[in-house]
């Protein structure tokens, strides 16, 4: 079981920041990493820390087995139809780039259209800009509703018979709006196009069923869901993966290398060239186990309770402007303090020991939509407590006096 005293699983919660007990409200940037994940990775290095995929000796077979069993685990975790649909990547960013450059770009013709939205993280935005530009294709934007979500109707309004590909998030990283990705996939397919879902923010919060969603690709990162840095997942329908060009060429992904020609392995191995992120993949497996032990229901209840509690209090502070008050499934609160630059504000939180994020949040397109140059975001995970919110609110009340930090 996981520990309900979260500081046992996450010793970082016992740290101080600027002399105050640490309050972590930045899990949407990266979640904290539980001890079980570290233990599993340490175990790899200490007990069988050898290379994979070529292990013809017992310890290599052990490493292979541990590594490949995570593929099965991920398959079940997101309900893919086969383990061969799971590609390990460096993270969401890499996963999306693999699809953009290995799958979409080679098919695109001048005049084709790609659809995305202004609420995407840069990782699911810039690659499509570049791909569209290289192919002479047009980038179109599904309009956002008041909560920052893309409704099926909104998607439909920008689809055409020229649309080749759609790239949208499952949950956005600033507004934390939840998209009905199943309906978005249906609309996409009605137009004969294909869809990638950026699940980086969704996977830590919702149970994923890629077959029910019926998306063609789904991407997420380990470090946002209790896993280690340096690892992520690209899910692709097998036929899509088989039709995708490799992104990197080298060892492990090849079948036969001759002087002038090389043949490649089938998916997913064709996309995992070189020595993989071995410890990280094994750590990802432990993170999934951990997350499943806690259960999404527990995570959702805790986050919703804390978020409502925080919103209620923030709404009483007239200097606070909240951008996503009605996103009840959200794990974030996106806000600003009137007449206070986000960077001035964040130092006030910092000195109170409260870690929240400020800036463009890798979402400049969204910020331009809401006419803000920068923004504050607090984000929640299951290890947060009511006391954290109280500390957060107390800091918020001080933020208008942002020059105080210079005179402590």
Partner 1 sequence: MSYSYDEQMFRQIIMDHYKTPRFKGLVEQPGFVTVHLKNPSCGDDMQVQTQVENGVITEVHHDGSGCSICCASASMMAQLVSGETIEQAQAKKQAFYDMVSGQGIDEELLDEAISLQGVAKLPPRIKCATLGWKAFEQTISKETVEQAEGVTIVTE
Ligand X SMILES: Cc1ncc(COP(=O)(O)O)c(C=O)c1O
Interacting residue ranges for ligand X, rule: CB under 6 A: 91-93, 121, 123-124, 169, 173, 198, 200-201, 221, 223, 232, 251, 274-275, 362
Instruction: For residue 308, give the H/E element and its range.
Output: helix 296-315
State which residue, 47 or 209, has the beta carbon closest to its own copies.
47
Cα(334)–Cα(338) distance, integer angstroms: 13
CB of residue 219 to partner 1, shortest distance in Å? 22
Instruction: Say whether residue 289 binds its own copies (CB under 8 A).
Output: no
Q: Within positions 192 to 221, which residues make up the interface with its own copies, using CB under 8 A?
A: 221
By the 8 A CB rule, do 228 and 290 touch?
A: no
By the 8 A CB rule, do 215 and 232 touch?
A: no
Instruction: Say whether residue 254 binds its own copies (CB under 8 A).
Output: yes
State which residue, 59 or 239, has the beta carbon closest to ligand X.
59
362 tagged catalytic: yes
Contact residues for 323 (Cβ-Cβ < 8 A; gap 6+): 148, 174, 175, 334, 335, 336, 370, 372, 375
Number of residues that bind its own copies (CB under 8 A): 93
Residue 229 has a CB neighbour count (10 Å cut-off) of 15
Q: Which does 127 bind (CB under 5 to 8 A by kind): partner 1, its own copies, ligand X, none?
A: its own copies
What are the E-state strand segments in 67-209? 86-89, 113-117, 138-142, 163-169, 194-198
Cα(167)–Cα(406) distance, integer angstroms: 44
Site string for partner 1, 24-63 (x = CB under 8 A): -----------------------------xxxxxx-xx--
Catalytic residue among 215, 314, 362, 395: 362
Cα(408)–Cα(400) distance, integer angstroms: 15
Instruction: Say whether residue 54 binds its own copies (CB under 8 A).
Output: yes
State which residue, 76 or 343, has the beta carbon closest to partner 1.
343
Residue 82 has a CB neighbour count (10 Å cut-off) of 12
Residues that bind partner 1 (CB under 8 A): 53-58, 60-61, 64, 84, 252, 255, 265-266, 269, 341-344, 347, 350, 358-360, 373-374, 402-403, 405-408
- Catalytic residue numbers, as ranges: 362
């Amino acid at each position: 079981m996981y520990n309900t005293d979260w500081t046992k699983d996450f010793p970082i919660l016992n740290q101080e920041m600027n002399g105050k007990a640490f309050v972590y409200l930045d899990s949407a940037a990266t979640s904290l990493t539980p001890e079980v994940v570290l233990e599993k990775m340490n175990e790899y290095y200490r007990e069988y820390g050898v290379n994979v995929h070529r292990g013809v000796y017992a310890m290599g077979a052990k490493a292979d087995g541990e590594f490949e069993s995570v593929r099965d685990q991920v398959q079940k975790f997101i309900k893919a139809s086969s383990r061969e649909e799971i590609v390990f990547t460096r993270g969401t960013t890499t996963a999306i780039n693999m699809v953009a450059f290995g799958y979409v770009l080679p098919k695109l013709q001048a005049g084709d259209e790609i659809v995305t939205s202004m609420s995407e993280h840069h990782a699911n935005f810039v690659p499509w800009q570049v791909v569209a530009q290289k192919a002479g294709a047009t980038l179109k934007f599904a309009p956002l509703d008041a909560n920052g979500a893309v409704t099926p109707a909104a998607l439909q309004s920008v689809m055409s018979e020229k649309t080749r590909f759609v790239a949208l998030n499952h949950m956005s990283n600033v507004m934390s709006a939840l998209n009905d990705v199943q309906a978005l996939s249906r609309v996409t397919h009605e137009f004969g196009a294909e869809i990638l879902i950026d699940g980086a923010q969704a996977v830590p919060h919702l149970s994923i069923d890629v077959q029910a969603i019926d998306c063609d690709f789904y991407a997420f990162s380990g470090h946002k869901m209790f896993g280690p840095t340096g690892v992520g997942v690209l899910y692709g329908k097998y036929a899509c993966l088989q039709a995708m060009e490799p992104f990197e060429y080298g060892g492990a992904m090849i079948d036969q290398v001759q002087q002038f020609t090389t043949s490649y392995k089938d998916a997913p191995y064709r996309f995992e060239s070189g020595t993989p992120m071995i410890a990280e993949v094994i750590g990802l497996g432990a993170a999934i186990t951990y997350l499943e032990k806690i259960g999404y229901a527990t995570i959702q209840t805790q986050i919703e309770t804390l978020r409502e509690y925080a919103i209620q209090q923030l709404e009483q502070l007239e200097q606070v402007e909240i951008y996503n008050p009605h996103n009840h499934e959200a794990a974030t609160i996106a806000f600003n303090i009137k007449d206070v630059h986000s960077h001035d504000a964040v130092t006030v939180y910092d000195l109170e020991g409260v870690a929240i994020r400020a800036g463009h949040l890798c979402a400049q397109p969204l910020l331009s939509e809401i006419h803000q140059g920068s923004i504050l975001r607090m984000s929640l995970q299951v290890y947060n407590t009511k006391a954290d919110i109280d500390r957060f609110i107390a800091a918020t009340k001080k933020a208008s006096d942002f020059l105080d930090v210079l005179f402590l």
